[in-house]
Structure 1
């Protein structure tokens, strides 16, 4: 694993997240809040989870004493959530740019929201974070289709690489 590879993963994830944010900007409040049968009870709650996960990894990587799970406390609007998401995207890229490759094997402490702790090597956490985001973007496509949204574009990693040429 190299910094160049990790930055490419972060750039891909931010690119795909930006496309997703563009989709969400087009939703009305009824679509945003519509109850759904999925991992989370609405498009809104799915996105809150995604943004919370993006932010929490920064807390884990910086060994924040009290990691903040946004999903436990967010009460804002769709636009406020998207602004938090955009800032988290910038923060993750900045963090990865400055994180020393010599520390990629460093152990990262993870504190679960419902209690309990675990550890992973840093080099394992970033691919996990990107995979997790991809998983939930896939869920969003299904949820958005159920809400009659059809203005999608492809967010696959291959599509990202092809468009970067």
Structure 2
């Protein structure tokens, strides 16, 4: 029975990162239909624009991928200066990189623990917990982007729910 549970966990992690890629693709494709100046407009939120929220998602996914790879995350205190299309391309490429990496993980890789010692926290969790956190974090901020967009007059946000992906998205993924 343990083997079936392990296989289920690997499947779930692979499905979850593929969902994340799919949801980010839907979000970016939707945002590409919006005026650049509105997507970059500063508004009251945890990150002051849709673009800056996308950059945060991208950088955070990069961080968690570096954790899973057991690599040092390159430190940069520089403010992001790329244009909007660079942001779109970057988050999508990074989401694909995360999905590809997790898709190649074995049962052992998914269940191994990784020690993190950072200025903000210390943990030694199984890798699947970090994967869940990375995707959940991105989902949280996709919701913020939808709300920011709504406040900027965008009323046609795409559905990016996990269940919608499982029912409809995988068919077209």
TM-score range (shorter-chain normalised) is 0.7 to 0.9
1:18 paired to 2:25: yes
1:34 paired to 2:38: no
- Partners of 1:13 and 1:70 lie apart in 2 by 25
Evaluate the alpha carbon distance shift between residue 100 and residue 71 of structure 1 in structure 2; reply closer, same or farther with a 3 A threshold.
farther
- Partners of 2:105 and 2:162 lie apart in 1 by 23
Within-5 A mapping of 1:71-90: 72-90=78-96
- Partners of 2:152 and 2:116 lie apart in 1 by 35
Q: Secondary structure at the match of 2:111?
A: coil
C-alpha deviation, 1:69, in angstroms: 6.0
- Mark the runs of 5 or more structure 1 residues left unpaired by the alignment: none
1:96 paired to 2:122: no
- Partners of 1:79 and 1:133 lie apart in 2 by 19
1:118 paired to 2:125: no
Evaluate the alpha carbon distance shift between residue 86 and residue 18 of structure 1 in structure 2; reply closer, same or farther with a 3 A threshold.
same
- Partners of 1:56 and 1:153 lie apart in 2 by 26
| 4+ residue segments displaced more than 6 Å | none
Evaluate the alpha carbon distance shift between residue 111 and residue 77 of structure 1 in structure 2; reply closer, same or farther with a 3 A threshold.
farther
Evaluate the alpha carbon distance shift between residue 109 and residue 84 of structure 1 in structure 2; reply closer, same or farther with a 3 A threshold.
farther
- Mark the runs of 5 or more structure 2 residues left unpaired by the alignment: 1-5
Larger Rg: 2
- Partners of 2:40 and 2:98 lie apart in 1 by 28
Report which stretch shifted further, 52-61 or 97-106: 97-106
Which structure has the higher relative contact order (CA within 8 Å, separation 6+)? 2
Instruction: Tell me the TM-score normalised to structure 2 length.
Output: 0.84
Number of residue equivalences: 162
1:53 paired to 2:60: yes
